[in-house]
A = this chain, B = another copy of it.
Amino acid sequence: MTDRSLPPAPVPDAILEASLYAQDLDSARIFYGGVLGLTEVVYAEGRHVFYRVGPTILLIFNPDATAQGSTDPAMPVPGHGAHGPGHLCLSATPDQIDTWRTRLIATGHQIDADFQWPNGARSLYVRDPAENSLEFAEPRLWG
């Protein structure tokens, strides 16, 4: 990257979209919309459901439906689609992590882990219905 003809890389100020994959979108909606109470912004039956989380849109795709890209020449969205458990972490205060724990246990979810990192930040882990590892953690985890 020492080519002097290269323009400097911009500094992105946010991740605009982060993705998880779930073949069963009905179960994903019950979990992310119902249990987690996230705000749904788009739902396309059998293909995807999207939620707003601060400056980021959380995209949950059925990988079997998105593996092939769009055939619309005006909007040729490339294909993608992963299988196996992914990972996402929602920012949370200590009080919010307590609330998430109570809410998740009350709705029948097993807590995979709940511990403090060496810097004192707490992380709580559960599985979503597609077995993705979902974490709730204090942002001070990352300084």
Q: Which residues of A contact B (CB under 8 A)?
A: 1, 3, 5-19, 21, 34-38, 41, 52-59, 61, 63, 67, 74-93, 96, 99-100, 102-103, 106-107, 112-113, 115, 117, 123, 125, 127, 132-133, 135-137, 139, 141-142
Contact = CB atoms under 8 A, between A and B. Distances in A.
Given A16-B89, A16-B142, A142-B57, A83 B83 contact: yes
Given A74-B115, A81-B84, A91 B16 contact: yes
Given A11-B37, A16-B142, A55 B53 contact: no
Given A18-B89, A75-B117, 4 more contacts: A9-B37, A16-B135, A75-B115, A80-B87
